[in-house]
């Protein structure tokens, strides 16, 4: 396969294009950031160079797609990368629009997911492979082509971002480079199931992005049953990693709690979350579970929490002095809501 230029940082692009002068690499980098799909569109390059480049490089990964539009403004893009894919390998990325009109790109870092969370469709599909930086960037460029102005990026799509940290770093470096897309790192959030060594690596080596922990429950035993990946990631170590992240200047973290009806919404569950949050600069984000057909926990079908469960649980956290927000549902009409990505018919 030809090297794919869209997945290269500016420095990598400059080195790859030697003996071309560095300013040519900057020009090409800017064109990629503008979303062009062919070298021929780069009209400030000499014609001969535009004709020579396609024999040596691919501009962007070879991709086919399907696009689904939801009534609430959500757009889900389903991408296939035929040259890299295994059978059944589809990557989904979602454009979310909130009530104030802000648009957020929800990007995937893996095809499938190794975490195995019982409440997540992606987790039920198993792990296929890591995405490379060009495939992560392709998602962003597709969504940027649909909504020119994006307010935020969240790495909360398919996969565990900290299991693909090197490619995630490259993608973020490309997205935030001031010679190209120049997106602010402080408007980028990485969500993790709680991979302590990855959180520490992120704190020590950057990039300086926002961090969200998919906590779900602070009951250690229940968490391990709901999220098999956490068996080797005890909450004590995760909290130490979060404190290290904040001590290194990482700022407030978000603790995400997917509310599962009758499972993690009780009085003891709220008390455990409050204890875990002590000493952290944290905000709690409550996410009522989005239904996925066929998912169950220990032989019983999962269910959405009723409004009373959500209200009481919220009140208990607020009474403990915690800052609590509730994520309002977006994307269910195109199976693009939290926990619904991967494998469902649209």
> What residues are annotated to the active site?
92, 338
Say which residue the tokens 């009474």 belong to.
319
Q: Are 181 and 33 in contact (CB under 8 A)?
A: yes
**Cα–Cα distances in angstroms (integers) from residue 29 to residues 26, 58, 125, in the given order:** 5, 13, 35
Calpha distance 20→42 (Å, rounded): 15
Two tokens at 299?
């032989």
Which residues are CB-neighbours of 322 under 8 A, at least 6 positions away?
A: 273, 274, 277, 282, 283, 284
Calpha distance 266→137 (Å, rounded): 41
Other beta carbons within 10 Å of 52: 13
3-state secondary structure of 329: coil
Q: Are 253 and 225 in contact (CB under 8 A)?
A: no
């Amino acid at each position: 396969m030809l090297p794919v230029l869209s997945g290269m940082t500016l420095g990598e692009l400059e080195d790859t294009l030697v003996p071309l002068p560095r300013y040519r690499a900057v020009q090409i980098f800017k064109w990629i950031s503008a979303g062009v799909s062919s070298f021929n569109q780069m009209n400030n390059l000499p014609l001969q160079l535009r004709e020579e480049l396609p024999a040596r490089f691919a501009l962007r990964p070879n991709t086919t797609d399907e696009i689904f539009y939801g009534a609430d403004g959500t757009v889900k893009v389903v991408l296939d990368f035929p040259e890299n894919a295994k059978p059944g390998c589809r990557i989904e990325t979602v454009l979310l629009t909130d009530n104030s009109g802000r648009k957020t790109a929800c990007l995937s870092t893996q095809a499938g997911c190794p975490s195995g969370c019982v409440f997540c469709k992606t987790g039920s599909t198993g792990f296929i492979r890591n995405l490379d930086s060009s495939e992560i960037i392709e998602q962003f460029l597709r969504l940027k082509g649909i909504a020119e102005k994006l307010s935020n990026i969240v790495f909360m799509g398919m996969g565990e971002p900290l299991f693909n940290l090197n490619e995630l770093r490259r993608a973020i470096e490309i997205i935030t480079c001031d010679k190209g897309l120049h997106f602010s790192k402080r408007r980028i959030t990485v969500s993790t199931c709680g991979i302590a060594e990855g959180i520490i690596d992120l704190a020590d080596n950057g990039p300086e992005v926002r961090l969200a922990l998919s906590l779900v429950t602070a009951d250690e035993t229940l968490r391990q049953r709901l999220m098999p990946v956490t068996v080797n990631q005890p909450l004590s170590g995760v909290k130490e990693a979060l404190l290290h992240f904040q001590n290194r200047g990482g700022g407030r973290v978000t603790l995400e709690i997917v509310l599962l009806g009758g499972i993690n919404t009780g009085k003891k569950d709220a008390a455990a979350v409050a204890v875990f949050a002590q000493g952290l600069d944290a905000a709690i984000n409550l996410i009522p579970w989005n239904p996925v057909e066929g998912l169950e926990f220990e032989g019983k079908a999962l269910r959405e929490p009723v409004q009373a469960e959500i209200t009481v649980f919220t009140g208990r956290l607020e009474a403990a002095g915690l800052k609590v927000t509730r994520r309002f549902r977006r994307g269910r009409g195109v199976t693009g809501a939290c926990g619904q990505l991967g494998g469902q018919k649209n």
